[in-house]
Amino acid sequence: MRFSIYQTSRQGGRQHNEDRIAYSYSRDALLMVIADGMGGHRNGEIAAQLTVKVLTENFQRHARPKLRDPQHFLQATIQRAHETINTYASDHKLPEMPHTTCVACVVQEDTAWWAHVGDSRLYLFSDVNLISRTHDHSAVQQMIDEGLLNEQEAVSHPDRNKVYNCVGGYLPPEVELSRPMPLSQLDRILLCTDGLWSQLTTEQMATTLTHFPLARAVEFLMDQAELRGGSHSDNLSAIAMTWESRDEGEAYAVSTVAMPDNTFTTSMGKAHADAASSLEEDEVERVIAEIQNTIRKFSGTRK
């Protein structure tokens, strides 16, 4: 595989960053995932952290060197993340179940599959054309679908942050799956949280990603979204990937041709360091250790 990939996350105007982002790839498969924690500091970020770790660790367990069934992997692993969050909450007697959105994408054999829960989005662009976009599981999206709101009105609607479908909680997530989408050279995939997409138009995203190098384009979009969000802007996160990028000199270009079987490269995004900075160092280590123990415990019961 050949592709370029770049990810980043910012705290925005919030006290803490509850977003979590990561990508992982083997010789023949790539996973990208974003989770936007809900429900307040610490609990939201724990739900997002668990979701990202379950997805990346399960990917490394099954992509050897590619997944047998990407759709089933996404469906089953997001469900596993949901159950892992609830197990963690029960074991630690949290006052409420942590919740998070999730959008995840697998690319292999020149084809993309994705799944989402909530209002974190995936966009697929070919040149400046939007090929596909996830459909938000939110109150304002329902109102748009029913003709009660237009896209512009939804941006400032008081219910714009109400999400009716999430990972973690008493109701199981309704995982929405895409159909397999063939990729052509220089197609671009963008995963992002609502802190980014709510401040920008689809045309702005498509044009910027098409006409600028990948990292520069993503940082420009982040700058614009953060500026427009102002002092109370939400956390904002993005992962962007250009398929079959041939520019070997590009800083974020990847070629997996020489990777041995059963090896992986994984990158957990900047969100982790940003969010952790608000906690004492020993508390960070304790929380991370508990998360890893929960994943190991749960994985051991679900072979």
- Could you read off the pLDDT of 171-188 as tens digits, one per residue? 999 999 999 999 999 999
- Enclosing domain of residue 273: 2-300
What pLDDT, on the 0 to 100 scale, is given for residue 280? 42
Element (H, E) at 300: helix 281-300
Q: Above 70 in pLDDT, residue 127?
A: yes
Residue type, 38: M
Q: Whole-angstrom Cα distance, residue 114 to residue 107?
A: 9
pLDDT, tens digit (0-9, with 9 covering 90-100), for 216-228:
999 999 999 999 9
pTM of the complete model = 0.88
- Selected residue with higher pLDDT from 15 and 58: 58
pLDDT, tens digit (0-9, with 9 covering 90-100), for 136-154:
998 787 788 777 777 766 6
Which residues does 200 contact at the CB level (< 8 Å), separation at least 6?
A: 221, 224, 225, 228
Q: Whole-angstrom Cα distance, residue 198 to residue 218?
A: 15
Q: Above 50 in pLDDT, residue 41?
A: no
pLDDT band at 300 (very low <50, low <70, confident <90, very high): low
Q: How many CA atoms lie within 13 A of 142 on its CB side?
A: 11
What pLDDT, on the 0 to 100 scale, is given for residue 82? 96
CA dihedral over 275, 135, 74, 238, signed as positive or negative: negative
Q: Count the Cβ atoms, other than its own, within 10 Å of residue 222.
A: 22
Q: Above 70 in pLDDT, residue 51?
A: yes
Per the structure, how many domains does the chain have?
1
CA geometry: angle at 113 spanning 274 and 27, to 5°? Answer: 75
Task: Identify the burial level of 124 via C-beta atoms within 10 angstroms of its C-beta, where 0-12 means exposed, 13-18 middle and 19 or more buried.
Answer: buried
What pLDDT, on the 0 to 100 scale, is given for residue 145? 74
Q: What number is the average pLDDT over the span 59-80?
A: 96
Q: Whole-angstrom Cα distance, residue 16 to residue 166?
A: 20
pLDDT, tens digit (0-9, with 9 covering 90-100), for 249-297:
667 899 999 999 889 999 987 544 443 333 344 554 555 566 666 666 6
Q: What number is the average pLDDT over the span 194-202?
A: 94
Question: Which CATH number characterizes residue 51's domain?
Answer: 3.60.40.10
Rounded to the nearest integer, the mean pLDDT of the chain is 87
